Amino acid sequence: MPFGKFATIMETERHYGVTRQRIHQLVLDGSFGECRKFEGPGGTCWLIPIPYKRKPIVPGPGRPRKEMPSGTK
């Protein structure tokens, strides 16, 4: 459930379809803009501004797919 104009890490990970760890990386990189830490009774939680201003997340770093010669599957 969003907190006003903010969403939690779990809601953001469901929206983008990536892991919680990846969302944490993006929050720490500043990719979502001005995120806030919320001190609740269950502990600390990040609040991410919505509507999301980030474009869909591309796969992380890694080796790109190899180009296949034409005519092969």
Range 40-63 average pLDDT: 76
- In this prediction the pTM is 0.62
pLDDT tens digits, 58-72 = 666 777 777 877 766
| Residue type (1 letter), 5 | K
Please name the residue that has the structure tokens 């796969």. Answer: 59
Joined together, the tokens standing for residue 31 give 């990719």
The pLDDT mean for the chain works out to: 80
DSSP 28: H
For the chain, first and last CA: distance in Å?
Answer: 45
* Closest listed residue to residue 9, CA positions, set 36, 54, 58, 46: 46
